[in-house]
Structure 1
Amino acid sequence: MIRRSILKALAFSAISLPMLMTTPAVQAQDAQTVDIGVLLSMTGSLGRGGNNVVLGMQTALEEVNALSPSRQFRLVIEDDESSPQAAMDGIRKLVDVDKVPVVLGTVGSATTIPTASYSLSKNIPHVGLTASSPDVRSLGKGYFSIIATDEVMGAALAKFAMEDTGKKKVGIIVANDAYGVGLARRMQEAVAANGGEVVSEVRYEAGQPDYRAELQRLFSPKPEIVLAVSWGDNARLLTKQAYEMGLMQTVQGAWYQPYPAEIVNACIAEACEDVKGLDIAADRGERFQQLRTSLETRVGSDVVIDWFIGVGYDAVWVTALAVDLANSAEPAAISAALPKAFEIYRGVSDADMSVDADGIQHNQEYGSFVIKAGKLEPYTAH
């Protein structure tokens, strides 16, 4: 049997983990192996995020297995290739061929919703990772989410920007998809609730070769704040062209982005200087410090812990804790234990990981960050 008292203690605090891990645990010959199904974008447009999630998962896996000689966990990973069709192929393999008792995935709402629907149709619990669309609430019993939905982020980002600048005229630019439009709706509501005015809202198509027309529409009413939803190559081109057109300079220090860790590596440094935002896995708490220590051992001292790493780390710990609480690797038992595991676990992506009646994390606290000289730094709002 897994050393349940140790895992429970570590769910609350990481203080004792380094001491416990100084001597590697010896796996018992009759150890139970529990497979954890993982569906992630390892390649394609979302590959960077997916690979960082796996890095966090592997780090947590080493910690958990070092503490549980009689029950070892193993990740069974399928690459969804950032493609809806490949995602469905992957979930069918995990559920029908590999027979995993629980699935963690994916890194986008567009793939999480159909793949989780398939898992749940086969009575396999599904833990969502970075899917933030409010539509995940419709998935029902057996679905759980590591992060809060866009309802929380959209409102928090708008409030943060207005309080940080003391300004009221807001421009919004988002991708024309469920993620972007959903965030825009929450931002609009929050701007109004905080006494502000949305003077422009622009939607762009991801993958365009030129965004100058959209940027002209965004800046034409002279917003004092810009709330932008972008990532990867889209973020690079949007900020680059806004800078080249002299528009970024008109809102220097007042361009705000949800999850800025998604854009910092894509941006040209001067174009993204002083871009601010809210992100998960803020530099706080004992669990975060333990993750940093573990990662520095694995990949070096210059590691940047983004929200993908934190989410992956927390997902494996919560799942292992649920198996421990249930003392079973049966899907129904894991599903029944997951709410309690979320309740008692103190995580990296948030200290309070408890979920609501829909299985969704609902107490999300964000850290504030700013991009300086091409690097993401903690930021204290004015």
Structure 2
Amino acid sequence: MKKKFLMGLASVFVLAACGNGATTEESDTIKLGGNFELSGGASAYGTLMDEGIKMAVAEQNAADGLLGKEIEYVSYDNKSEPSESTSVATRLATEDNVVAILGPATTGAANAQSPAVTRAKVPAILPAATGDGVTMDGDSVLEYVFRVCFQDSFQGKALAEFAQTDLQATKAVILVDNSTDYAIGLADAFKETFTGDIVAEENFTAGDTDFKAILTNIANLDYDVIFLPGYYEEGGLIIKQAREMGIVQPILGPDGFANSTLVELAGADNVDNVFYASHFTPNSEDPKVQDFLADFEAEYGKPADSFAALAYDAAQLVFDAIANADSTDPQAITDALAATEDFEGVTGTFSFDENHNPIKSAFVIELQDGVEVGNSIVEPAK
């Protein structure tokens, strides 16, 4: 990666309002689509993902593109709404005639998109939709849906194993966002794996801001760890209120904690003994990771997080599939994606399993005073 690759992103992307005909083998460009949460509740994830892809496209174009052609990236805002995700996917596939779609960020939006990409026979690569079954239709794999992130069941189990082995926890409390399938699935996976006692389980709802009642219910119980499946908005506030009430037990969270807003909401002084599952660590010594981080900060003036890294890998995965297929035909790209083995990204090296899920490791990040001070690696089951 060279800094000279990151030249004037605005000049690289044509964010067209409508398509200009199908991308064919004779076209001068290869058109990719982005379906992301650029506004609404999940915009903190979607915006960074969109930026990660733009950077990947700029680098690839500066290195002479693909198959002798320039890559054109067209992205639209799904507004963090599943119905908008469907509309964006349909627009990209049928009007803009993209050869592949990157995104969306969340499981609900990804599920809403799947029928559209299946009808259009255009592959979709999901950077961070972790919900179990998002690549499946019942017992059948969705031919055109892939992801580069691990599943919720894997991270829920990984956090339970971490609680038992690294934190030596034998008693746990679960505080779960019962308004999202994401959090409920994580809680179920944790409970299936944790061999100790679940001494209490309290529920909250996305959008809540006052958690004193549920925290009061657990304040005087005997337990070793709190598992908090949910997103950074509520997670940050719960951490703040828990620590201010004198609750000092370690708090475990999922990849939904992986945003700097978590620390801003909680206050850095309160973010001690907080651990969360992540697809990526900026403390990696891998030169590829460090180059990515330096280039992203140079281009956007802010640090990349795991969501930017996942999206960057999703774009690189598409480039790799197009090169391996030696074609811009969506079906050829789909077949090449399914055959991916040992893809080396900034979030790790992986191959796809038969259900289009990556076989990859997870990191458990440790935060003290709001700063990452260590990480552990949890390997997938053999």
TM-score (norm: length of structure 2): 0.84
Q: Counterpart of 1:162 in structure 2: which amino acid?
A: Q
Q: C-alpha separation between the residues in 1 aligned to 2:327 and 2:34?
A: 19
Q: Counterpart of 1:8?
A: none
Q: Counterpart of 2:19?
A: none
Alignment of 1:37 onto 2:40: no
- After the TM superposition, which of the residue ranges 178-187 and 270-279 deviates more from structure 2? 270-279
Q: 1:214 to 1:61 in 2, by over 3 A?
A: same
Q: Counterpart of 1:277?
A: 276
Q: Is the Cα–Cα contact under 8 Å of residues 363 and 376 in structure 2 kept in the other structure?
A: no
Q: Counterpart of 1:297?
A: 298
Deviations 1:269-294, CA, capped at 9 Å, x for gaps: 22222312221112332321221232
Alignment of 1:305-344 (within 5 A): 305-340=304-339, 342-344=340-342
Alignment of 1:194-213 (within 5 A): 196-213=196-213
Q: Counterpart of 1:171?
A: 173
Counterpart selection for 2:355 from 336, 346, 358: 358
Q: 1:328 to 1:154 in 2, by over 3 A?
A: same
Q: 1:31 to 1:89 in 2, by over 3 A?
A: closer
Gaps of 5+ in 2: 13-25, 378-382
Q: Counterpart of 2:157 in structure 1: which amino acid?
A: A
Counterpart selection for 1:95 from 93, 96, 110: 93
Q: C-alpha separation between the residues in 2 aligned to 1:130 and 1:78?
A: 17
Q: 1:184 to 1:19 in 2, by over 3 A?
A: closer
Q: Counterpart of 1:7?
A: none
* Shift of residue 215, structure 1, vs aligned partner: 2.1
Q: Is the Cα–Cα contact under 8 Å of residues 275 and 367 in structure 2 kept in the other structure?
A: yes
Secondary structure of 2:174's aligned partner: strand
Q: 1:217 to 1:138 in 2, by over 3 A?
A: farther
Q: Is the Cα–Cα contact under 8 Å of residues 270 and 369 in structure 2 kept in the other structure?
A: no
Q: Counterpart of 2:334 in structure 1: which amino acid?
A: S
Q: Counterpart of 1:240 in structure 2: which amino acid?
A: K
Q: C-alpha separation between the residues in 1 aligned to 2:217 and 2:133?
A: 30
Q: Is the Cα–Cα contact under 8 Å of residues 117 and 144 in structure 2 kept in the other structure?
A: no
Q: Counterpart of 1:289 in structure 2: which amino acid?
A: Q
Q: Counterpart of 1:189 in structure 2: which amino acid?
A: E
Q: Counterpart of 2:20?
A: none
Deviations 1:89-110, CA, capped at 9 Å, x for gaps: 2122112211112111111111
Q: 1:33 to 1:117 in 2, by over 3 A?
A: same
Secondary structure of 1:107's aligned partner: coil
Q: Is the Cα–Cα contact under 8 Å of residues 104 and 129 in structure 1 kept in the other structure?
A: yes
Q: Is the Cα–Cα contact under 8 Å of residues 78 and 88 in structure 2 kept in the other structure?
A: yes
Identity %: 23
Q: C-alpha separation between the residues in 2 aligned to 1:133 and 1:329?
A: 29
Secondary structure of 1:359's aligned partner: coil
Q: Counterpart of 1:181?
A: 184
Secondary structure of 1:367's aligned partner: strand
Deviations 1:170-213, CA, capped at 9 Å, x for gaps: 11112112111100111011102xxx222122221111232222
Q: Counterpart of 1:11?
A: none
- Richer in strand (by share): 2
- Richer in helix (by share): 1
Q: Counterpart of 2:258?
A: 261
Q: CA RMSD in A?
A: 2.5
* Shift of residue 67, structure 1, vs aligned partner: 1.9
Q: C-alpha separation between the residues in 1 aligned to 2:152 and 2:7?
A: 42
Q: Counterpart of 2:134?
A: 136
Q: Counterpart of 1:206 in structure 2: which amino acid?
A: A
Deviations 1:238-291, CA, capped at 9 Å, x for gaps: 1222123222x2x1xx11111232323432222222312221112332321221
Q: C-alpha separation between the residues in 1 aligned to 2:110 and 2:357?
A: 14
Q: Is the Cα–Cα contact under 8 Å of residues 120 and 126 in structure 1 kept in the other structure?
A: no
Q: C-alpha separation between the residues in 1 aligned to 2:64 and 2:365?
A: 36
* Shift of residue 309, structure 1, vs aligned partner: 0.9
